[in-house]
Structure 1
Amino acid sequence: MSTVNDLEQIARINAGDRTPVVFVHGLWLLPSSWDRWAAVFEEAGYAPLTPGWPDDPDTVAEANAHPEVFAGKSVGQVTDHFADLIGKLERTPVVIGHSFGGLITQMIAGRGLSAASVAIDPAPFRGVLPLPISSLRAASAVLGNPANYHRAVPLTYDQFRYSFANAVSEEEAKELYERFAVPAPGEPLFQAAAANINPWTEVKVDTLAPERGPLLIISGEKDHTVPWAIANASYKKQARNEHAVTEITEMPERGHALTIDNGWREVAETALAFVKRFTN
């Protein structure tokens, strides 16, 4: 279900003539994590749209006070939610996503709904086989308890430090945790973990779709959650698409928090430079 704020953003974008850019956040973050990115893209002449996942609260404080609202969200449900929003836009948008948002970005691109796409440290889809130890450890916060499938799961500071903020100082890691971290649904992580043994999984991407459009995958060199092995395996699957440009780049010395930490602007400008080549 689209929120009033989403529909207001869409109406404003449709009233103008700029190319929309839809930002898709991942687990343990809210749409507000994209606020600085949206300003950069707006200044560059684009029309940013920062929708939430279904039922996302407006603020981190509200999210932490009512974690139950995050429970029960599947990858397919959230992808359909974003596809529905994109369908209300009068111009085909650029789509940029981080982590599970990066997976959803690729699923949307495979449906031919994006003019260009950037997937940042994207969660793996069916056919992506590497399982680095650091990734398993990061996911264990949820996967360690089967009951978490139907729950909303917060990260402790130590879990956030390992999974997101391992490449920044302790001081910055604490600031990021307080400013951005919220609970997340457990279901997407269980879906991703079982994707390669479940032929009916929702966690699949049409990598060969002729209408997929240009795609950039950005990988953080020090990411524990989605290490290079996973990002590069996703890239190799996508690079088989003969109809569109597929590229990958690695950001040195960066962890999973690369979209929100002190180096966020470099990542945003890398994404923007790619997008500019194919739009406006």
Structure 2
Amino acid sequence: MSEPTIVFLHGTNASPWTMAPFRGFFEEKGLTCHSPTYRHHDLPDGEERTEALRGASIADYVADITAFLETLDTKPVVIGHSLGGLIAQLLAARGLIAAGVLINSSIINGTVPTTEMERALGKMFMSVGPFWNEVPGQDFELLATYGLNTMPVEQQHEICDRLNTESGQVLFELFFWMYDVKQTTRIDFDRANTPLLFLSGSEDKVVPPTTAKTMADRYGPLATFIEIPGRCHYMQLEKDHDALARRCLDWIRTL
């Protein structure tokens, strides 16, 4: 395929800055890049953002990105981190993208935790009450333990300080898909025909490689799974991220 358009999708509590290192790499290679965001994620933390995000669903975010893709002249390759990787899978199952690169993708409907740390995270959410009605922010200790665990403490604080609040409904749909009556993150595998590259950091505690691999395996030959040694959930922001971006570009150029 000729050089494609690249669309970067960020994770929960975030905005396009978390994908900026990768976007810079791809733009330096001459590719056209876009970094759309989900509804209300451009608002600063505060009452307006809280009320706007309360009750927002992953389905809303998928609708936002679908509308953006309709403005493009061609199907892009989507590079998504965490929630962005999950949204890329939903877009792929609808035939809206040419390929997807999934960086520590959030789990889809039917993916069961394989580690005690994942189960502990789910129990933590259950212990705080009806969080799906709220708009939670980031807890530094939790984020440092699960998502930034291979980074220097200073960088952990820098990233945490830039992250924002997120719809509790979105977090509910991610972690408790089995109770989601709308089955928001369900993939229709009978319609899936888009190549996907799953990149899984070996030290990711949010979606560890053992869990990510079970998700990738559901796609059969459509999916390529690669475990990246020594990397955490936010590995696109880690040192030497250009090497990871190069790996993505090399895979894209094989399509």
Matched, 1:222 2:207: no
What is the match of residue 80 of structure 1? 63
Alignment of 1:26-37 (within 5 A): 26-37=11-22
Superposition TM-score, scaled by structure 2 size: 0.90
Aligned pair in 2 of structure 1 residues 31, 141: CA closer, same or farther (>3 Å)? farther
What is the match of residue 264 of structure 1? 241
Aligned pair in 2 of structure 1 residues 66, 141: CA closer, same or farther (>3 Å)? farther
What is the match of residue 176 of structure 1? 159
Question: Are 2:14 and 2:41, in contact at CA under 8 Å, matched by a contact in 1?
Answer: no
Question: Are 1:71 and 1:151, in contact at CA under 8 Å, matched by a contact in 2?
Answer: yes
Alignment of 1:93-242 (within 5 A): 93-139=76-122, 142-178=125-161, 180-198=162-180, 200-209=182-191, 212-239=193-220
Matched, 1:53 2:38: yes
Structure 1 residue 192: Cα displacement: 2.6
Structure 1 residue 147: Cα displacement: 2.7
Aligned pair in 2 of structure 1 residues 48, 27: CA closer, same or farther (>3 Å)? same
Identity in percent: 23
Matched, 1:92 2:60: no
Corresponding residue to 1:273 among 213, 230, 250: 250
Structure 2 CA distance for aligned equivalents of residues 64 and 255 of structure 1: 29
Superposition TM-score, scaled by structure 1 size: 0.82
SS of equivalent residue, structure 2 residue 100: strand
Question: Are 1:20 and 1:47, in contact at CA under 8 Å, matched by a contact in 2?
Answer: yes
1:26-61, CA deviations, whole angstroms, 9 ceiling, x for partnerless residues? 112111211221121112232111011101126xxx
Aligned pair in 2 of structure 1 residues 227, 82: CA closer, same or farther (>3 Å)? same
Matched, 1:254 2:254: no
What is the match of residue 23 of structure 1? 8
Question: Are 1:118 and 1:218, in contact at CA under 8 Å, matched by a contact in 2?
Answer: yes
Aligned pair in 2 of structure 1 residues 73, 111: CA closer, same or farther (>3 Å)? same
The root-mean-square deviation of aligned C-alpha atoms, in Å, is: 2.2
Number of aligned residue pairs: give it.
253
1:60-92, CA deviations, whole angstroms, 9 ceiling, x for partnerless residues? xx3468651433221111112111111121111
Is there any run of 5+ residues in structure 2 with no aligned partner, and where? Answer: none
Structure 2 CA distance for aligned equivalents of residues 139 and 215 of structure 1: 27
